[in-house]
Amino acid sequence: KNEVEQSPQNLTAQEGEFITINCSYSVGISALHWLQQHPGGGIVSLFMLSSGKKKHGRLIATINIQEKHSSLHITASHPRDSAVYICAVRSIEGSNYKLTFGKGTLLTVNP
């Protein structure tokens, strides 16, 4: 079983819809990252969380440490949000330098 599981694997939405991508993990963590990978391949860090909630523009990330779960929400989705969204965690027991990555969620937003 992977330490980091994302759901759904694929998600298709219509422009304007509210989108939720989920990330569950099985180990104790000190930080969780959300990243975005565009169709061209480039990877951008969106958020780093250790508790609570963060917001940037139309993106909101939440984390529940007790339930070992995080969600990434996109409000008023747009075709330019189409990308792979990746969750990654830093285990409290592992190396300070190692992130464990999920396999990603492919989001397609249709106009």
Partner 1 sequence: NAGVTQTPKFQVLKTGQSMTLQCAQDMNHNSMYWYRQDPGMGLRLIYYSASEGTTDKGEVPNGYNVSRLNKREFSLRLESAAPSQTSVYFCASSAAAGTKDTQYFGPGTRLTVL
Residues at the contact surface with partner 1, assessed by CB under 8 A:
2, 4, 30-31, 33, 35, 41-45, 48, 50, 86, 88, 90, 95-104
Q: How far is CA 5 from CA 63, 84, 85, 110, in A?
A: 14, 14, 12, 25
Q: How far is Cα of residue 27 from the mean position of the Cα atoms in its chain? A: 17
Nearer to partner 1, 14 or 45 (CB): 45
Nearer to partner 1, 9 or 14 (CB): 9
Residue with smaller CB distance to partner 1, 34 or 74: 34
Smallest distance from partner 1 to CB 62, Å:
18
In whole angstroms, the minimum distance from the beta carbon of 30 to partner 1 comes to 6
In contact, 62 and 93? CB cutoff 8 Å: no
Nearest-angstrom CA–CA distance, 5 and 7: 7
Minimum CB–partner distance for residue 111 and partner 1 (Å): 27
